A and B are shown apart, each in its own frame.
Chain A
Amino acid sequence: MWDYSDKVKEHFFNPKNAGAVVDANATGEVGSISCGDALRLTLKVDDESEVILEAGFQTFGCGSAIASSSVLTEIIKGMTLDEALKVTNQDIADHLEGLPPEKMHCSVMGREALQAAIANYRGEEWKDDHEEGALICKCFAIDAVMIEEMVWANKLRTVEDVTNFTKAGGGCAACHEDIEAILEKVLAEKGEKFDPTAAPVEAPAKIAAVKAPLTNLQRIKKIEEVLESLRPSLMADGGDVELVEVIGNTAYVNMTGACNGCQMAAMTIAGIQQRLMEVMGEFIKVVPASEMKKLVNIEVA
């Protein structure tokens, strides 16, 4: 069974606002082909203030689809339509204390239902702007459609390219065979042949690997350098990382922006740790700064 958070279970076993709102004046109906899930969101909007007075959901779907629908109705009740439009799928996942990577599309479905309902209220036509494919990279929740598009758009040729542009394959590396299959397919469509030994289109900034042992000062400088090199890919997702403290072989970091509270943060931290160890040639543990105080206290005690 999935590793669902307590919050997901709470909303699944005791869903809030189930059923259609009577006298609804906004309806959004969306489905995610990837799961066969579908959701109808009904809203009662105050015509004067555009405040959402009531929200109800009807969902055909799995545990996390029902939980996402339930928590969405709780989030948006009392918001104006403009405020509600700012709710992201990440907000939905955050309220649920995270979703498994395979289930993130349930939160996307929630956001889309909301957009569709608001468009319906305003007499606009809502069009879905994204297509979802088979999940390839489980570490960073990247699907096949996303990888294919990036391969096309950026003329990618190697697995390393795909990792640099999408992060896919940058974690446990188990999906590299699948990524190669996508490269083979897309390159064949372009009349090219996949060559696993080809040079990457854009070599990532090379940081000279160092030989341990390092002084603490050298270590901190090197860690900063590595974080700097990873920053662009984090910022592409609206996130960032900040080095707070280094004690021995443990680096304490703050994940900021979109990374903060993102359920993928733990995965990202593992990725950072892997990269640090490769460059530094020594064991480095990367720990969220939030856990620092606890550790220091124990030492003091």
Chain B
Amino acid sequence: MTDIYLDNNATTKVDPAVVDVMIPYFLEQYGNPSSIHKFADGVARGLKQARQQVQALIGCEHDSEIIFTSCGTESNSTAILSAIKAQPNKKEIITTTVEHPAILSLCDYLEKEGYTIHRMPVDKAGRLNLESYKKLLSDQVAIVSVMWANNETGTIFPVVEMAALANAAGVMFHTDAVQAVGKIPMMLQDTKIDMLSLSGHKLHAPKGIGVLYLRRGTRYRPLLRGGHQERGRRAGTENTASIVGLGKACELALSHIEYENTKVKAMRDRLERGITEQIPHCFVTGDMYNRLPNTTDIAFEYIEGESILMLLNKAGIAASSGSACTSGSLEPSHVMRAMDIPYTAAHGTIRFSFSRYNTMHEVDEVLKVMPGIVATLRKLSPYWEGDGPVANPEQAFAPTYS
């Protein structure tokens, strides 16, 4: 059996068609796009085409609203730091407790610098309360930054509605959309979203290329100053091959968006149903009815995620976990804690994330091994006895914690 890759929210395989369009930019058209000779001849045109391909995927009004960056994290940092530099009198930021560390760590840092950070909580299904959001909006808020879709659970936030509310209150709105772009349709020109981050390697482009969408007219301060590249909004010689690759990847994503929401979704649903039907004491986390089509995050109670991943890996299956152990951090994933998932389940969460490269056959292979893996580990668990959890697991096993 060949290895099965179900970790596409972590990163994706580069599409061979993307690699093909990139190669000439390494070997032939390697000139600096700013140069005036034949080695740079087609480069500027290549970049322009890529800009338009990105524009088409996210549905923005102008291709000049696309700023190429080095990654999603750079786009996120640029957006937030730009908003606070451009509006030095506003000292508050609104975000959520379940954002990616690219946003949360930056906000923690800004908090130390004296900013007030409003981190909106989520309910047990990972949803936000828009009523409390409205109350937070004020003329003191420099920017709202809310992810479009959660990387762990796939839960989609109502960013279009939230951007409109922010806009009405005169507040800038940014969304970290690295998990959403290419998986769900979007038309930015019909929204009030001011800034959006996306990352190439999540949609079959290479790592090391990202985009910041910046709505025309949004007040902006660059993170990197230097050259005139990207109209002076992001200095540094363009990563031409990757930009062209990202353009191609966006074109492919746009043409597969229906496939993603039908065929890919069907694979995800089959896996999810198969697992939850066959395996007792497991449940899907996040908002079941409002999710990315490619993601399922399942909590297996009374066992730990890294152990599950190691046994999956041995069976040739790649997935990921919200367990503390896989990250080397102290706590299980902040997303699981935010949803109030009990520790004994939060440590056992496994995320399966699909792409158009997966097949139904692979789903069946995973379904064959998953019950055995869970049963093996439960046999070792102090919370488990025979065919089920011990009665009152929390009382029956209450270790001295250090």
A binding-site residues for B, Cβ under 8 Å: 1, 9, 12-13, 15, 18-19, 29-40, 57-66, 100, 102-103, 108-109, 112, 116, 126-128, 130-135
Contacts and interface: CB of A to CB of B under 8 A. Distances in A.
A60 B304 contact: yes
Contacts of B344: 60
Given A59-B380, A63-B307, A36 B399 contact: no
Interface stretch (B18-26, B35-43, B149-157, B321-329): B321-329
Contacts of B306: 62-63
Contacts of B328: 100, 102, 135
B31 interface: no
A34 B400 contact: no
22 contacts: A12-B310, A13-B310, A18-B380, A30-B400, A31-B402, A32-B401, A33-B402, A36-B323, A36-B332, A38-B382, A38-B397, A38-B401, A40-B382, A60-B303, A60-B304, A61-B304, A102-B328, A108-B402, A126-B400, A128-B401, A130-B402, A135-B328
A156 B383 CA distance: 44
Contact of B399 (A12, A31, A64): A31
Nearest to B383: A60
B393 to A, nearest CB: 10
B399 A38 contact: yes
A133 B400 CA distance: 16
A37 B382 contact: no
B330 interface: yes
A57 B380 CA distance: 8
Given A36-B347, A58-B382, A29 B399 contact: yes
A128 B380 contact: no
Contact of B380 (A34, A66, A126, A131): A66
Contact of A39 (B330, B347, B382): B382
A31 B381 contact: no
A116 B400 contact: yes
A35 B304 CA distance: 10
A126 B311 CA distance: 34
Contact of A66 (B307, B314, B323, B343): B307
A18 B379 contact: yes
A36 B303 CA distance: 11
Contacts of A29: 382, 397-400
Contacts of B382: 29, 38-40, 58-60
Given A13-B314, A62-B326, A66-B307, 10 more contacts: A1-B313, A19-B380, A30-B400, A32-B402, A36-B323, A36-B347, A60-B302, A65-B325, A128-B400, A134-B330
B328 to A, nearest CB: 4
Given A31-B402, A135-B328, A59 B381 contact: yes
Contacts of A38: 382, 397, 399, 401
Interface string B290-331: 000000000000111111011101100000000111101111
Contacts of B325: 35-37, 61-65, 103
Contacts of B326: 62
Contacts of A13: 310-311, 314
B329 A63 contact: no
Interface string B371-402: 00000000111110000000000000111111
Nearest to A116: B400
A257 B331 CA distance: 34
Contacts of B379: 18-19
A134 B329 contact: yes
A52 B346 CA distance: 35
Contacts of A108: 402
Contacts of A66: 307, 380
A13 B313 CA distance: 12
A126 B325 CA distance: 26
Interface in B321-362: 323-326, 328-332, 343-344, 346-347
A12 B347 contact: no
Contacts of B401: 30-33, 38, 128
A128 B331 CA distance: 20
Nearest to A9: B310
A174 to B, nearest CB: 14
Nearest to A127: B400
Contact of A112 (B307, B310, B331, B402): B402
A265 to B, nearest CB: 21
Question: Looking at B303, B323, B326, B328, which has the most chain A CB atoms within 10 Å of its CB?
Answer: B328
Contacts of B397: 29, 38, 40
A60 B397 CA distance: 11
7 tightest A-B contacts by CB?
Answer: A62-B325, A62-B306, A58-B382, A31-B399, A102-B328, A29-B399, A40-B382
A128 B401 CA distance: 8
Contacts of A37: 304, 325
Contacts of B323: 36, 62
Question: Looking at B306, B311, B379, B399, which has the most chain A CB atoms within 10 Å of its CB?
Answer: B399
B399 A39 contact: yes
A39 B380 CA distance: 10
A131 B304 CA distance: 22
Contact of A34 (B302, B330, B381, B398): B330
A127 B380 CA distance: 25
A131 B236 CA distance: 47
Nearest to B381: A60
A196 to B, nearest CB: 15
Contacts of B347: 36, 60
Contact of B324 (A1, A12, A34, A39): A34
Question: Looking at A30, A37, A38, A128, which has the most chain B CB atoms within 10 Å of its CB?
Answer: A38
A82 B399 CA distance: 23
A64 B307 CA distance: 9
Contacts of A109: 402
B380 A58 contact: yes
Nearest to B302: A60
B64 to A, nearest CB: 37
